[in-house]
Chain A
C-alpha cells in the first residue's frame, strides 16, 4: 500500500500551479491581504463553517456523556500562581494580536483561538473552573457564538441579494474581523471545555458558593 501511494505521488507533475494564482488574482475582492485567511473565511467559507459545527458537535458529545469528573487539586503553589498571573494576560494579548494580524500576515481565528485555549488551560490547571455565574446561558452563547455569527453573516448577505457567505467588497474586511473574533472566542472556550471533559456542574458540588447560585 505504501509503495502504491508513493508511486501515485511520484507520478504527479513536478510543477503544478495549483490555485495560488487564482487566489492571488482575487485577493483584492476578499477584504484581507493574507491569502490563507482569505481562503479560510472568504473563498472557502463553507469549510470553516462546517468545521466550527464539528467542534460544537464534539463538545456536545462530550457534554452528553456526563458532567466533568471531580478532581481533587492541590492548592497551587507560589510559583504557579505567579506564572499564571504572568502568562495568562500575555497569552490573551498574543491571541488578540494574532487575530488582528491575520488580515495581513500569518495568523487568524484558529491560531488565536488555540492560544486563547492555552490561557484557559493554564487557569484550569491551577484550579479554576467555570463559575456558576458563567456555566449557564452565557457559556453556551459564547460556545455557539462563532458558528452563529458566521451563519447570520451569511444569511444577512442573502437578504441583501447576494449569495450565502458572499461578502460585498466594501464590508468584507470588517465582516471577516467580526466573524473571526466570534470564532476565536468559541474555539478557545470549546477547547477548554473539551479539556475539562464533561458538562460543568456547579450545582452538584458541595463547595459551590450559595450567593453565586442565587444570581442565576
Chain B
C-alpha cells in the first residue's frame, strides 16, 4: 500500500517535472533553453527507466544527455560568434591560438607542435 502511494508520487513528480521543463525550455533565453533541454533529456531517460524500457533508456542516456547537448552547444557557440556586423571576433585573437588543421592531429601532437612554435 505504502509502495503504491510512493510509486504514484514518484510518477506524478516525474510527469509534472517533464511538462514544466518542456515549458521552461521553450520560453527562456537560448543558453538557458539548451541547459534546460539537456535536463529534460535526463528526466526523460528516468521516465523510460520507470516505464520498464531499459533499452530506450540506454539510447536516451547516450543521445539525449550527451550528443544532443554537445550538438546544441556547438551550434549556439557558432551563433554567438557571428555578430550582426559580420566581423568574426575569433579571428582577431588568431595569433595567440593554435590553428588545428583538419589534417588529423591528436591532442598530444597539437600540444607538442604548440611547444615547438614557442
B66–A118 touching, CB < 8 Å: yes
Contact of B103 among A36, A111, A208 (CB under 8 A): A208
For window 96-110 of B, CB contacts with A under 8 Å fall at 97-108, 110
Contact of A76 among B62, B66, B107 (CB under 8 A): B107
Main secondary structure of the interface of A (DSSP, over half): loop
Q: Does A209 contact B (CB under 8 A)?
A: yes
Counting chain A CB atoms within 10 Å of each CB, the highest count among B54, B55, B71, B90 belongs to B55
B90–A72 touching, CB < 8 Å: yes
How long is the Cα–Cα vector from A144 to B65 in the complex, in angstroms? Answer: 26
The interface residues of chain A lying within 8 Å CB-to-CB of B107 are 75-76, 80-81, 84, 126-128
A36–B55 touching, CB < 8 Å: yes
**Tally of chain B residues near chain A (CB < 8 A):** 31
Main secondary structure of the interface of B (DSSP, over half): helix
**Tally of chain A residues near chain B (CB < 8 A):** 50
Contact of B101 among A81, A108, A129 (CB under 8 A): A129
The interface residues of chain A lying within 8 Å CB-to-CB of B67 are 114, 117-118, 121, 191, 195
Name A's B-contacting residues (CB within 8 A). 34, 36-37, 68-76, 80-81, 84, 98, 106-108, 110-111, 114-115, 117-118, 121, 125-135, 191, 194-195, 197, 200-202, 205-209, 212
Name B's A-contacting residues (CB within 8 A). 54-55, 57-59, 62-63, 66-67, 70-71, 74, 78, 90-91, 94, 97-108, 110-111, 114
